[in-house]
Structure 1
Amino acid sequence: MNFPDLQTERLILNQLNEQDTSALFAIFSDKKVIQYYDIDAYQTESQAQQLIEFFNKRYLENLGIRWAIRLKENGQLIGTCGFNSLNEKMKHAGIGYELAANQWGYGYASEAISKIIELAFSSVSPFCELYRIQGDTMIGNEASEAVLKKLGFKEEGVRRSSGFWKGEFHDLKCFGLIKPEFKAL
């Protein structure tokens, strides 16, 4: 199955490849970017290469899909977005995304995520038919919450001590978007 390449007004969304290693390392080694992530800042480019391989393997196994987010004007990798999990039986996916810190505030995350949601809820989706998409944010990640709310996700509550990373438990806010709500936007 061919990876679904997508475009928006300002962005190209396509598959990550080995040539993205240095740019992805720059993103994931920035402590500001991974502040709310369940990982530590990357120390080596091999970690970025392993992440690319992980994302692409998940796609081949139909367990998830992650797009590179590139600026249309120059092809520069500025982040990734996608579905960390796809549950065909439940018609459900978990969404994830990040952008390089110097690209924050330009609306790129909303633009990219809107496009992948549009594909996921369409009749031509290349992966399982989805009815619900869930996004979880760590308490305090107001920028990520704002992106989800802008796209029509509803805050559904807080799952107490739902995550454990960096040596401590974290409460996670749960946001959900169901197909009829997105079509109504």
Structure 2
Amino acid sequence: MRSRSFRRSVLAVSVVLSAAACTTSTDGRPQPVPTVTAAPAGDRIDVGTMHVTLPAGAKYTAHSQDGLLDGCITEGTVVCEARLLDLREATSDPNAPINLPSAKRPFGWYTGTDVPTCITAASPPGEAATATGSTLVESGFKPVGTKNAEYGRWQVSCEDATQNNEVRMWWLPTSKILVVEYGAFAGWDAKMDTLLTGATFS
């Protein structure tokens, strides 16, 4: 007979996947179900040339049908706590609508050319309010494995003030890998630092 803790674990995983699959847009239409790459604790995921091990209980969405969840790490009920993106293809196309990441501009964590949004635990991609401000509060370099990434932390204000938050970014310009942590807080900051310090490259 299976243990009670095993049944709880299965239920918890089902709830997380259901939360990711059943989100609705602001007009009430259901969002497409994302493709989730199963990654239990200890499993490695590959993002371009970077290889990282996810925290216990976290999942990684390599690609979703609408692209909103591409590269998202999901933990608990949070649909997109952080995003790990390989930008080699996007940055090689001179016609691609992209702003290169940079800790030298207010919205340097946002690569889109449209209006940035405030992704938080309560406002996943596609449902987030418009970002109205982004103030750089920390910048420099941080380790990602054996590499040094351009690093920034911003205080982000939002059209919906309940979504005001902090965003952290790591950018590897040679490898063209971008890591963005949304709605930063102490517990997740420590997990992200551990994940990135342990990164390897091929």
Task: Answer whether TM exceeds 0.5 for this pair.
Answer: no
**Considering only CA atoms, is the larger Rg found in Structure 1 or Structure 2?**
2
Report the TM-score when normalising by structure 2: 0.28
- Considering fraction of residues, name the structure with more helix: 1
